């Protein structure tokens, strides 16, 4: 029995299990936020655009013998619209995060490199240039960027 609990403890302490648990909790919280954005902010706008149509009441009634049955296709339409809106909102959020991440990575990369300069006029020249675009002097060797010391 002791070995069983040791194996269980080892399984729980693995990095991927803990990461998965964190991802599930954060995913649940994120789902609540996205659902709120869709139902409280975006669906009212969709309602205005569609003229206040409530899709949930739409159904196709099938008479069967003495009774009837219905196919509630309006709920399906609502679910599809909400899915598309949620997918679009998540796309926008991921796109914004990637752009922000790219901006920070780019600025760090730009800080690390120092643009090459012409030895004659001390103006910046493009990396690999053999002639200065400012003073037109021929450079002794192709211009190379230098890395800043930290």
Residue 88, pLDDT above cutoff 80: yes
**pLDDT tens digit sequence for 11-50:** 777 767 777 888 888 888 888 887 787 778 877 887 788 8
| Together in a domain, 101 and 139 | no
**pTM score of the predicted model:** 0.45
Q: Could you tell me the pLDDT band of residue 150, with boundaries at 50, 70 and 90?
A: very low
Q: Is 38 helix (H, G, I), strand (E, B) or coil?
A: helix
d(CA 32, CA 64): 40
Q: Domains in the chain: how many in total?
A: 2
| Together in a domain, 109 and 139 | no
SS3 track for 63-113: EECCEEEEECHHHHHHHHHHHHHHHHHHHHHHHHHHHHHHHHHHHHHHHHE
For range 101-130, the mean pLDDT: 76
Tokens 């730009």 — which residue? 110
Q: Provide the domain limits for residue 98.
A: 2-114
Residue 113, pLDDT above cutoff 60: yes
């Amino acid at each position: 029995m002791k070995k069983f609990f040791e194996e269980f403890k080892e399984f729980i302490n693995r990095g991927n299990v803990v990461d998965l648990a964190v991802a599930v909790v954060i995913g649940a919280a994120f789902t609540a936020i996205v659902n709120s954005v869709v139902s409280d902010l975006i669906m009212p706008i969709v309602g205005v655009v569609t003229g206040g149509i409530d899709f949930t009441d739409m159904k196709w009634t099938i008479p069967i013998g003495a009774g009837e049955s219905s196919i509630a296709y309006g709920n399906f339409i609502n679910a599809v619209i909400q899915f598309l809106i949620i997918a679009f909102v998540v796309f926008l959020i991921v796109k914004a995060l990637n752009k922000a991440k790219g901006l920070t990575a780019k600025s760090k990369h730009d800080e690390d490199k120092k643009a090459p300069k012409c030895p004659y006029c001390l103006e910046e020249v493009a990396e690999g240039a053999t002639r200065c675009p400012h003073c037109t002097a021929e450079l002794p060797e192709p211009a190379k960027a230098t890395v800043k010391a930290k």
